[in-house]
Amino acid sequence: MSKKIALKWLKQALHDLEMAEKNIGIGGYDVAAFLAHQSVEKLLKAILAIKGMKVPKTHYIDELGKKLKLKSEIMENIAELTVDYTFSRYPDVSEQVPYEVYNEELAKEKVNIAKNIFESLREFYETLLGEENG
């Protein structure tokens, strides 16, 4: 997998994380949680590409983390976001309507978890960003 593809995944991941934060400010708490998940998914796919591994067409970030053999602490954070891919968007997966469940506190928690994952994995992608800006 080329660095060009990895950089595209990474740039979208960073954008999704930024948009997750912005959605908190406008009350889009369910959207913020979804985008927190999406940002991590795209980050993990960027790292797979950086490592020259095939980027699978999946939304299961726990599977992506296992494929990368991430540390248990990171996997625990990933587990906290896994449910949000489905639950934050589909009203038929539970008895509750997603936007009524997510609040500011929960959305901030989800975004902070995503930020922690990005920080924990920075060593894998900072060189790629440096090449882009250098």
pLDDT tens for the 134 residues of the chain, in order: 588 999 999 999 999 999 999 999 999 999 999 999 999 999 999 999 999 999 999 999 999 999 999 999 999 999 999 999 888 989 888 899 999 999 999 999 999 999 999 999 999 998 877 776 65
Answer yes or no: is 70 within a domain: yes
Query: Is residue 131 a part of any domain in this protein?
Result: no
Give the residue ranges of DSSP H helices in the chain: 3-25, 29-50, 61-67, 72-82, 84-87, 98-101, 104-120, 122-133
Residue 45 lies in a domain: yes
Q: For residue 15, is it within any domain?
A: yes
In a domain, 121, yes or no: yes
Is residue 10 included in any domain, yes or no? yes
Determine the structural domain holding residue 14 and report its residue range. Answer: 3-126
- The CA distance from 116 to 121, in Å, is 9
Domain presence at residue 133: no
Q: Is residue 132 part of a domain?
A: no
Query: Is the pTM here over 0.85, yes or no?
Result: yes
Token pair belonging to 59: 């939304």
CATH number, residue 106: 1.20.120.330
Residue 93: φ, ψ to 5°: -95, -5
Domain total of the chain: 1
